[in-house]
Amino acid sequence: MDTIETHIAKDREQLARAEASGDQAKVRHYATELEGLETYRSHHPGDHKDPTSLEVHCDLNPDAPECRVYDD
């Protein structure tokens, strides 16, 4: 995706399709991803690039071991 806004719009479309088809696994997937992207966007309002899933994860979980940067 080019921008986070594009990614959010695409996820909203996919969520609506999953809801219409009754695919609860996809509903959960897209709802969770959408929530993370919207939270990320609220934390970085001037940043329009589409973040990676790791960037979103670390934004939501900054103390997770995979998100820590260690100085030796």
Q: How many CB atoms lie within 10 A of CB 6?
A: 12
Determine the pLDDT at residue 68: 87
Contacts of 6 (CB under 8 A, 6+ apart): 50
Write the pLDDT tens digit of every residue in 26-62.
999 999 999 999 999 999 999 999 999 999 999 999 9
Q: pTM here?
A: 0.87
